[in-house]
Amino acid sequence: MSDNKFQYEDEIDFKAVLRTPIRWFGIIYPYFLVIAIAIGMIWVFKMDILFNNKIPPALVDSTRIFKDIEQKKGFTLAGVDVIKLYSEREQLKSKGEEIYKANCSSCHGDKGLGDGVAGANLNPKPRNFTQSTGWKNGRKFSDMYKTLVEGIPGGAMVSYDYLPIEDKFSLIFHIQTLATDFPQVTETELKDLDVAYNLSQTRTMPNQIPVQTAIMKLSSEKISEKDKINKIQEFIDIHSNPAKDIFQSVTYNQEKALLTLFSNQNWRAEKENFVKLISSSVNQNGFNSKALMLNEERLNLLYNYMIYLFSL
């Protein structure tokens, strides 16, 4: 039969395959290709999971941490005799060590090597007091005092100015025990320090509140001011009153006039203050010069009307 010659084998002839092993490749090749593509696709689609970094990088850019001012009550810092205080350094070292352990060693380490636990992730790193290089303000007594007063901007070293002068001195006395090569302190250096920071003068530290709180306070005051004035303005518009005409005739800008009254409310206690407030900057404060020419009766009407409006 001549067409038998072209008949395809409908089954794999395993014997033939075994005889010529190269034919295996032809058989497994399609499967191999499919599996390879499948693995490749899984790889590509799951890449974000496979390579996801579960542990966040250790170094945090501490210059981006915003540290707000703490809320603190004001207080007085007594002035000191710098030379006398310096002469007491032997006694003050141990006090300095205590303050150091409580406030500084978390970052700078117990021995001042800059290896405190809280400092591990900081950038820049806490200063190693035993190393003489890399200091920004410097290693002199007065330099360290400056650091304590002002802090180092742009990092974790904040100001410790709230500490009494004696405590700041004690801290530096302690730090100076951590290495032997700190620069010698001179009398002129101490005197200059006294002048620079007014150390012999008693100082009053004002109350301070965080910037965020201050902003909130200011904006909420602004809102309540606007609300109040809108409310009064609305009332004036809607309700008739004999004094309403007087108010309209003595103002060139009602809202501004109300703002003036809102900003300094001691006029509510006395009519005299009311007259003073209006006349102090007439033609700029919302009131016009007619306000200065009111007779007693009309002035009384206006005054009582305003008292009434502001108590709404």
Choices 39-47, 104-112, 187-195, 197-205; region in contact with ligand HEC by CB under 6 A: 104-112
Residue 259 near residue 229, CB atoms below 8 Å? yes
Which of residues 93 and 125 has its CB atom nearest to ligand HEC in the complex?
125
CB-nearer residue toward ligand HEC: 157 or 278: 157
Contact 253, 286 (CB under 8 A): yes
Residue 112 is a binding residue for ligand HEC (CB under 6 A): no
State which of positions 193-252 bind ligand HEC (CB under 6 A). Answer: none
Q: Quick check: 217 and 133 in contact, CB under 8 A?
A: no
Shortest Cβ distance from residue 42 to ligand HEC (Å)? Answer: 46
Nearest to ligand HEC of 147, 285 (CB atom): 147
| Beta carbon of residue 122, minimum distance to ligand HEC (angstroms, whole number) | 5
State the number of binding residues for ligand HEC (CB under 6 A). 26
For the record, the structure tokens of 124 come out as 């820049």
Q: How far from chain centre, in Å, is Cα 122?
A: 17
On the CB side of 7, CA atoms within 13 Å amount to 8
Do residues 257 and 287 touch, judged by C-beta distance below 8 A?
Answer: yes
Tell me the two tokens of residue 111: 């021995």
Rounded least distance, CB 127 to ligand HEC, Å:
4
Residues 241 and 305: beta-carbon distance below 8 Å: yes
Q: Of the listed pieces 1-9, 16-24, 99-107, 197-205, which binds ligand HEC according to CB under 6 A?
A: 99-107
User: Which candidate, 298, 290, 295, 291, places its Cα nearest to that of 277?
Assistant: 291
Omega cis (within 30) before 57: no
Greatest C-alpha distance within the chain:
138
- Which of 80, 93, 97, 108 binds ligand HEC (CB under 6 A)? It is 108
Q: Which of 126, 105, 176 lies closest to 134, judged by CA?
A: 126
Q: How far apart are CA 77 and CA 74, in angstroms?
A: 10
Segment contacting ligand HEC by CB under 6 A, of 1-9, 83-91, 129-137, 295-303: 129-137
Stretch that binds ligand HEC, among 27-35, 86-94, 140-148, 193-201 (CB under 6 A): 140-148
- Rank residues 96 and 286 by Cβ distance to ligand HEC and give the closer one: 96
8 A C-beta contact, residue 125 and residue 209: no
Q: Give the nearest distance from C-beta 215 to ligand HEC in angstroms.
A: 25
Residue window 163-192: x/- pattern of binding to ligand HEC, with contact defined by CB under 6 A: --------x---------------------
Check residue 135 for interaction with ligand HEC (CB under 6 A). yes
Our CB check for ligand HEC shows the closer of 170 and 251 to be 170
- Residue 93, interface with ligand HEC (CB under 6 A)? no
- Are 121 and 58 a contacting pair, CB within 8 Å? yes
The binding site for ligand HEC (CB under 6 A) comprises 103-104, 106-108, 118-119, 122, 124-127, 135-138, 143-144, 147-148, 152, 155-157, 160, 171
